[in-house]
């Protein structure tokens, strides 16, 4: 017998209709389930650009989820407004006895859910959370002393040791879809009604929804075996491109972990390790919520007196640093909303350790522009690259942007893809065109200071300054 006659399933970072923990529990425990998604104005009104790839990706994913529910004779109620008002209001309007949703671990989301739970409790409505976006959450992976890990490798080993088939078992949502409320299709507010404008080119937006995730994952499966060798080469199609789908839950983490775990081999093991890094950063944010307020994990580096030259920061943002790989990476981000993971490390290191800009400036820029922006991963990655975080790159280890370019984009293929002004630059000079003789610059049409900027910084001198800054903070 169902526990509830009618429940509400609230979709958030889980925009799919399969292997969905909250939806499974709602369907199994209820005679009828209504599904809802809210375009939250508390979030949308903080976005500065009216043409936002994330909003567009979510909108397309919500539309597909709604269509899939309508194929089942139900629908998705899509609301626009303040979540804290709309969810209790809808629950009361429908006369439901319970609201089901999946955990969201970010501090702001946790506060929102607490407020919603309190309002529902005042109405006599139960509020149920389920673990869905990670394999292990919160306190599930701890040291032998019962404390959270602060080094990745021991965390990963403990994570793998605990993993078993039960943790990757899919929730059989399809067996309980008959409990969905049977109703007419509900309206979907347009992007314009939400206050946003669509990109002119469909190619500007990643394929969205559960179908988009399926396409990308199926394409990645035959490449997974080479992931360990290809993942650092930005000119090669060596990564999965699933980070945005994981961020918005259009694909199940259990499906991905199960495939990598069962496949084995160097490529699959390396990819699985990346999925574990994602959970490591989420665990850190849960245990150290001050990280969301811009605090460093290593307190001694919290107040390094970075010069924060605004002109240099603008050059970094606008791909005008004079270092081709850095500029190509920033063009990729600005034009597509995506940046290759190796390049995220290199550009972050360059901002902090070559330009001496506070890592929090770069973290904010990535947060504004990344389609796959995830607070825990973005914060963790920036603190790793800037040597201020947990298990971070040692502060005395500083990426050389030219060496990184020579190593990971040897023939300059990625550089030329995003920097057409360097298309005719010979391979010999593509990584450091300012070293090219003037006659060669004229011949290939890459005149430094005219067709392409001179370097904004001398790496060797910048490195010495970085060592001085961090050494003083470490004393």
Please give the pLDDT value at position 205.
63
Please give the pLDDT value at position 199.
81
| Cα 31 to Cα 344: distance, rounded to the nearest angstrom | 48
Q: Where residue 203 falls among pLDDT bands split at 50, 70, 90? A: very low
Length reported for the chain: 475
Please give the pLDDT value at position 124.
98
The average pLDDT across 465-471 equals 95
- The alpha carbon torsion through 176, 180, 185, 189 (nearest 10 deg) reads -90
Where are the chain's structural domains? 7-132, 134-169+210-287, 299-474
On the CB side of 58, how many CA atoms lie within 13 Å of its CA? 25
| Cα 27 to Cα 6: distance, rounded to the nearest angstrom | 10
Please give the pLDDT value at position 109.
93
Please state which CATH number belongs to domain 299-474. Answer: 1.10.579.10
Higher pLDDT, 48 or 446: 446
Closest CA to 27 of 182, 183, 173, 170: 173
Q: What is the mean pLDDT of the chain?
A: 96
Q: Where residue 60 falls among pLDDT bands split at 50, 70, 90? A: very high
Q: Where residue 390 falls among pLDDT bands split at 50, 70, 90? A: confident
Q: What is the pLDDT of residues 204-242, one digit of tens each?
A: 568 999 999 999 999 999 999 999 999 999 999 999 999
Q: What is the pLDDT of residues 391-403, one digit of tens each?
A: 877 888 899 999 9
Closest CA to 33 of 54, 14, 8: 8
Q: What is the pLDDT of residues 71-107, one digit of tens each?
A: 999 999 999 999 999 999 999 999 999 999 999 989 9
Q: Where residue 191 falls among pLDDT bands split at 50, 70, 90? A: very high
The average pLDDT across 63-68 equals 98
Percent of the chain with pLDDT over 90: 93
Q: What is the pLDDT of residues 238-279, one digit of tens each?
A: 999 999 999 999 999 999 999 999 999 999 999 999 999 999
Q: How many CB atoms lie within 10 A of CB 385?
A: 25
On the CB side of 421, how many CA atoms lie within 13 Å of its CA? 17
Please give the pLDDT value at position 79.
98
Please give the pLDDT value at position 394.
87
The average pLDDT across 36-63 equals 95
Closest CA to 459 of 349, 301, 328, 317: 349
Please give the pLDDT value at position 71.
98
The 3-class SS string of the chain reads: CCCECCEEEEECCCCCCCCCHHHHHHHHHECCEEEEEEEEHHHHCCCCCCCCHHHHHHHHHHHHHHHHHHHCCCCEEEEEECHHHHHHHHHHHHCCCEEEEECCCCHHHHHHHHHHHHHHHHCCCEEEEECCCCCCCCCCCCCCCCCCCCCHHHHHHHHHHHCCHHHHCCCCHHHHHHHECCCCCCCCCCCCCCCCCCCCCHHHCCCCHHHHHHHHHHHHHHHHHHHHHHCCCCCCCCCCCCHHHHHHCCCCHHHHHHHHHHHCHHHHHHHHHHHHHHHHHHHHHHHCHHHHHCCCCCHHHCCCCCCCCHHHHHHHHCCCCCCHHHHHHHHHHHHHCCCCHHHHHHHHHHHHHCCCCCHHHHHHHHHHHCCCCCHHHHHHHHHHHCCCCCCCCCCCCCCCHHHHHHHHCCCCHHHHHHCHHHCCCCCCCCCCHHHCCHHHHHHHCCCECCCECCCCCCHHHHHHHHHHHHHHHHC
What would be the CATH architecture of the domain defined by 7-132?
A: 3-Layer(aba) Sandwich (3.40)
Closest CA to 37 of 87, 72, 74: 87
| Cα 346 to Cα 333: distance, rounded to the nearest angstrom | 13
Please give the pLDDT value at position 206.
85
Please state which CATH number belongs to domain 134-169+210-287. Answer: 1.25.40.80
Cβ atoms 283, 138 nearer than 8 A: yes
């Amino acid at each position: 017998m169902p526990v509830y006659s009618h429940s509400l399933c609230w979709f958030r970072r889980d925009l799919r209709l399969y292997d969905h923990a909250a939806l499974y529990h709602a369907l199994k425990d209820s005679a009828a389930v209504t599904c809802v998604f809210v375009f939250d104005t508390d979030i949308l009104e903080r976005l500065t650009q009216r043409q936002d790839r994330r909003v567009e990706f979510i909108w397309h994913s919500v539309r597909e989820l709604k269509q899939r529910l309508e194929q089942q004779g139900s629908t998705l109620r899509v609301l626009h407004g303040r979540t804290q008002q709309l969810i209790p209001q809808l629950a009361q309007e429908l006369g439901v006895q319970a609201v089901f949703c999946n955990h969201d671990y970010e501090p702001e989301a946790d506060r929102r859910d607490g407020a919603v739970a309190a309002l529902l409790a005042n109405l006599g409505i139960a509020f149920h959370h389920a673990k869905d976006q990670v394999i292990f959450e919160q306190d599930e992976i701890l040291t032998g002393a019962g404390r959270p890990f602060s080094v990745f490798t021991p965390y990963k080993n403990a994570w793998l040791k605990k993993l078993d088939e039960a943790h990757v078992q899919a929730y059989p949502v399809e067996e309980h879809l008959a409990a969905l409320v049977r109703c007419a299709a509900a309206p979907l507010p347009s992007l314009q009604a939400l206050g946003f404008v669509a990109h002119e080119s469909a190619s500007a937006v990643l394929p969205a929804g559960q179908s988009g995730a399926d396409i990308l994952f199926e394409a990645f499966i035959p490449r997974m075996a080479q992931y360990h060798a290809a993942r650092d080469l930005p000119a090669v199609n060596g990564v999965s491109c699933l980070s945005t789908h994981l961020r918005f839950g259009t694909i199940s983490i259990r499906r991905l972990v199960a495939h990598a775990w069962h496949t084995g081999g160097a490529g699959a093991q390396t990819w699985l390790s990346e999925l574990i890094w994602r959970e490591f950063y989420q665990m850190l944010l849960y245990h150290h919520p001050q990280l969301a307020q811009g605090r460093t994990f290593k307190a001694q580096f919290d107040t390094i007196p970075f010069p924060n030259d605004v002109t240099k920061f603008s050059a970094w943002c606008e791909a005008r640093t004079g270092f081709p790989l850095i500029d190509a990476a920033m063009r990729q981000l600005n034009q597509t909303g995506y940046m290759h993971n190796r390049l995220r490390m290199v550009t972050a290191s360059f901002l902090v350790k070559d330009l001496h800009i506070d890592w929090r400036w770069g973290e904010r820029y990535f947060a504004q522009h990344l389609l796959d922006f995830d607070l825990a991963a973005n914060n963790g990655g920036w603190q790793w690259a800037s040597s201020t975080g947990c298990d971070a790159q040692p502060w005395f280890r500083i990426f050389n942007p030219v060496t990184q370019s020579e190593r990971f984009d040897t023939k300059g293929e990625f550089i030329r893809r995003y920097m057409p002004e360097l298309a005719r630059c010979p391979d010999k000079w593509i990584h450091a065109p300012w070293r090219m003789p003037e006659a060669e610059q004229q011949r290939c049409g890459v005149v430094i200071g005219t067709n392409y900027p001179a370097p904004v910084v001398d790496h060797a001198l910048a490195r010495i300054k970085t060592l001085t800054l961090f050494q003083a903070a470490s004393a």
